[in-house]
């Protein structure tokens, strides 16, 4: 059986389904092919399930801290199995919503695995084993990534997990060693520590979160130490050995760490090798990324690529934006992708959010840059809520006053970064921030104070002593 569409999207994650919706909104006849659940890694095995588990853990933490607020709770216990059930309910509800959006936008959802036969012809292996051939002059590849497999760290889903299998634990171990201190490793470290698991993180580079600004990596290491999360940095994990019921983690320096369970979080690999890119004539670079122009179009006119496979930004919201650009451009609208203001949120305790340049990157790019910092402690709303740990900082260009970066470590950092994202996207200055009335009492006042700090005129901070 053959079918003809204007545009076919391969992959139903946060890159693919927005591309399909936007193309359909633009009047194209669209099909979307997905082999697993709609919503991709983000909805089913990433952002949403992890953030739901983290939300559960945060409620536990609030309950444990209740006495500070005059609330006496008595002994607090929790049932991890019920936390996991709640995570599955939240994911299921959102997945239904996404499937509903496909139907309401009249997108044909085809369940199966797609492979190009030519630039305009795609074979879909359906769940019932049959092949379906579909034709479209235009297509979007949005096949994403999955946890990187390393033979020395064989994931068995019982004692050794990756970021997918660990989501389905029914009970928590006493001790968890996490291999890799990147975003995934650090988020799970915070989650499991809040749930009273003994956590050890091993990272081969010299800091945790090695890709972040130094002030951010330093802050998370300080907080982890304070919270009792043990970590080794500059330490390679060589291999894992099963010793009865336990796992031995063999480090590069010959030391061994014994644990009940291990989580492998050493990066992800791209899903580009099973889609028949060669038959479509689509080029990938030596790292496996599909090369695109600023419209997300590959070297083959009419074939687009979005999401993890298409840029170094492995973030759901970047994929979504790229999907919208592809869905517009495929319909003849002159849409382009920009990356100057990409926010990124790391859901550790405390939360971390960044956008634009760090001070180190700004100096490297030859900006005459400065950084203005303000602590949560001096913000009234942070005191009221007992969220006094952390800081916000703005990186700005001293010549133009332009805001070029921001980092925030502290409560609700992920929500708060939106203001700086808008500022950078619209090339606003430090003065634009100081001239903006910030509602009181809110933690967002931290940006106003950090901006005032740029000219050494913060309100809620004593003047710096001048050298006499």
Residues engaged in binding ligand NAI (CB under 6 A) = 179-185, 187, 202-205, 210, 236-237, 265-268, 314-315, 344-347
Smallest distance, Å, CB 422 to ligand NAI? Answer: 19
Kind plus residue range of the DSSP H or E element containing 317: helix 316-329
Question: Between residues 157 and 234, which has the closer beta carbon with respect to ligand NAI?
Answer: 234
Smallest distance, Å, CB 202 to ligand NAI? Answer: 5
Question: Between residues 305 and 417, which has the closer beta carbon with respect to ligand NAI?
Answer: 417
* Residue 207 region by backbone torsions, left for phi larger than 0, else alpha for psi between -120 and 50, else beta: beta
Question: Between residues 268 and 411, which has the closer beta carbon with respect to ligand NAI?
Answer: 268
**Contacting residues for 49 by C-beta, under 8 A, at least 6 apart:** 87, 88, 90, 91, 167
Residue 249 CB neighbours (<10 A): 22
Can you tell me the distance from the alpha carbon of 424 to that of 401, in angstroms, rounded to the nearest whole number? 12
Q: What is the largest CA-CA distance in the chain?
A: 86
Please state the separation of Cα 151 from the chain's center in Å.
25
Question: Between residues 345 and 395, which has the closer beta carbon with respect to ligand NAI?
Answer: 345
In 11-101, at which residue ranges do the beta strands (DSSP E only) sit? 30-34
Smallest distance, Å, CB 29 to ligand NAI? Answer: 33
Question: Between residues 102 and 409, which has the closer beta carbon with respect to ligand NAI?
Answer: 409
**Contacting residues for 129 by C-beta, under 8 A, at least 6 apart:** none
> Shortest CA distance to 119 belongs to which of 11, 271, 278, 6?
278
Smallest distance, Å, CB 439 to ligand NAI? Answer: 27
Smallest distance, Å, CB 409 to ligand NAI? Answer: 14
Strand order in the sheet with 256-259: 237-243, 246-251, 256-259
Phi then psi for residue 3, to 5 deg, are -140, 145
Active site residues: 440
CA distances from 316 to 55, 141, 143, 309, 321 (A): 19, 15, 13, 12, 9
Smallest distance, Å, CB 163 to ligand NAI? Answer: 7
Q: Output the residue with the shortest Cβ distance to ligand NAI.
A: 182
> Shortest CA distance to 306 belongs to which of 139, 99, 425, 164?
139
């Amino acid at each position: 059986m053959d079918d003809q569409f204007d545009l076919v999207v391969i992959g139903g994650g946060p890159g693919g389904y927005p591309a399909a919706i936007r193309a359909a909104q633009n009047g194209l006849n669209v099909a979307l092919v997905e082999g697993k659940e709609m919503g991709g890694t983000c909805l089913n095995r990433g952002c949403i399930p992890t953030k739901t588990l983290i939300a559960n853990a945060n409620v536990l933490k609030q309950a444990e801290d209740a006495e500070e607020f005059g609330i006496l709770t008595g002994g607090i216990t929790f049932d991890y199995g019920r936390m996991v059930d709640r995570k599955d309910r939240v994911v299921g509800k959102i997945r239904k919503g996404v499937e509903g959006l496909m139907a309401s936008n009249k997108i044909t959802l085809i369940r199966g695995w797609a492979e190009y036969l030519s630039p305009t012809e795609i074979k879909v292996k359906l769940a019932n084993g049959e092949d379906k051939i579909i034709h479209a002059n235009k297509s979007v590849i949005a096949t994403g990534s999955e946890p990187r497999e390393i033979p020395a760290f064989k994931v068995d889903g019982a004692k050794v997990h990756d970021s997918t299998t660990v989501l389905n634990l029914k009970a928590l171990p006493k001790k968890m060693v996490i291999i890799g201190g990147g975003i995934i490793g650090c988020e799970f470290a915070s989650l499991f520590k809040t749930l009273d698991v003994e956590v050890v993180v091993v990272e081969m580079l010299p800091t945790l979160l090695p890709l972040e600004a130094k002030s951010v990596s330093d802050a998370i290491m300080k907080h982890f130490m304070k919270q009792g999360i043990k970590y080794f940095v500059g330490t390679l994990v060589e291999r894992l050995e099963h010793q009865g019921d336990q796992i031995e983690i063999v480090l590069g320096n010959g030391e061994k760490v014994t644990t009940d369970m291990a989580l492998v979080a050493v990066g992800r690999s791209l899903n580009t090798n099973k889609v028949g890119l060669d038959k479509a004539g689509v080029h990938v670079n030596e790292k496996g990324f599909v090369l695109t122009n600023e419209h997300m179009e590959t070297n083959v006119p009419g074939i687009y690529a979005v999401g993890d496979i298409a840029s170094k930004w492995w973030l759901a919201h970047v994929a979504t934006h790229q999907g919208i650009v592809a869905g517009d451009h495929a319909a003849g609208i002159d849409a382009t992708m920009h990356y100057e203001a990409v926010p990124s949120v790391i859901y550790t305790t405390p939360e971390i959010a960044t956008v634009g340049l760090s001070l180190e990157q700004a100096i490297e790019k030859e900006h005459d840059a400065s950084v203005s910092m303000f602590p949560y402690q001096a913000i009234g709303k942070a005191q009221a809520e007992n969220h006094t740990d952390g800081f916000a900082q703005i990186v700005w260009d001293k010549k133009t006053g332009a805001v070029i970066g921001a980092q925030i470590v502290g409560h609700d950092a992920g929500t708060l970064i939106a203001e700086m994202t808008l500022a950078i996207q619209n090339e606003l200055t430090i003065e634009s921030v100081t001239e903006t009335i910030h509602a009181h009492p809110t933690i967002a006042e931290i940006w106003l104070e950090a901006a005032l700090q740029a000219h050494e005129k913060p309100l809620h901070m004593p003047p710096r002593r001048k050298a006499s």
